[in-house]
Amino acid sequence: MPNRIVKRSATLADGRDLIYYDDADTRLGPERRIDNRPLEPRPPTATMRQDVLNGEWISVAAARQGRVVLPPADRDPLAPQTPDNPSEVPDLYDVAVFENRSPSFGPALPGDGTGVVAAPAGLADINDLGFGRERVAVGRCEVVCFSPEHEGSFGNLTPSRARTVIEAWADRTAVLSELPGIEQVFVFENRGKAIGVTLPHPHGQIYAYPYVTPRTMRVLESVRRLGPDLFQRILENERAGDRVVLAGEMWTAFVPFAARWPIEVHLLPHRHIPDLAAANDAERDELVTLYLRLLRGIDALYEDPTPYIAAWHQAPVHTGRDTVRLHLQLTSIRRGADKIKYLAGSEAAMGAFVADIVPEEAAARIRAAVATG
């Protein structure tokens, strides 16, 4: 870990992985309490079924129905444990990552000794199409706690803490990419009740999928049709236009030409890197400054915090790594101070979006907010 960020591995009472990442300027000592909770065994790994009309896989994870929804601060499952709150993290922390107790994918992996049958047998098997196709939803889902505080988001973090979170994202991307059966790793943060967040605690998630996601499959097809330098050409076109909202030496943020959402910003590195693990220290350092400025600018658009989804699109583990570039897609359904864009018939049923705001106008508003945020 660079910059004196320290990684400490532990295990929860039911055998799940727990990893602490201590800030470079941490005030915590090296010791952590052990998780002594009496926990029931984890639920079985979910299954996934293929939609024969489009080939997409749907994970059926019924155990997620029992997850906690908007608990009071003294019952926060992501806060450090207390005698009255048997939470998921045994001790005080800076940043903590642990396996989700009721995940959409995993914990089973191909060949991990658990006797899993009907696990996906590689991309050829996944990309085949037919009726009644069902597989075990092997993979991994992890929770990334940005802070021990009960409320907040990435934009509220100090630069030091933000750097630790980025280091955790990069490290987990590298580790999860090495697991058997993993085809893509997705880092994301959901923020706000309007998005559907069930915990106000500042946190994000990481999904390790057993297939290449539908959006990325479409990106790979665009690369095939337009050339391996597609992302570089996108970056050059945007930097020459009037939709840039924030730029540094190594990253540029812009509203895309065909933005779907009322608030949509993409953030691209200037050199080709397939995922967060491939970013060097200088790129991660600048990302701290630019990303915090961007998120605080998005919040400055209105008087109260903006709900959003921050999606870090990374190249698949085994394909497209020389052409698919790491990029952030930050989107919000907020189209006004008291207006929300709901996905109605055209968007939800047909995937045919209708934009409410001209992208150039959105960029001008976000650029002004970033300058004052």
Provide the annotated active-site residues: 203
CB under 8 Å to 337, separation ≥6 — which residues?
A: 302, 303
Compute the distance between CA of residue 146 and CA of residue 157 in angstroms, rounded to an integer.
8
Q: Which helix (H) or strand (E) holds 9?
A: strand 6-11
Please name the residue ranges forming H helices in the chain.
122-127, 159-177, 214-226, 230-239, 281-299, 350, 359-372
Three-class secondary structure of residue 245 per DSSP: strand
**Exposed, middle or buried, 69 (CB in 10 Å: 0-12/13-18/19+)?**
exposed
CA 327, 106, 97 angle in degrees (round to 5)? 60
From 270, 242, 253, select the one nearest 373 (Cα to Cα).
253
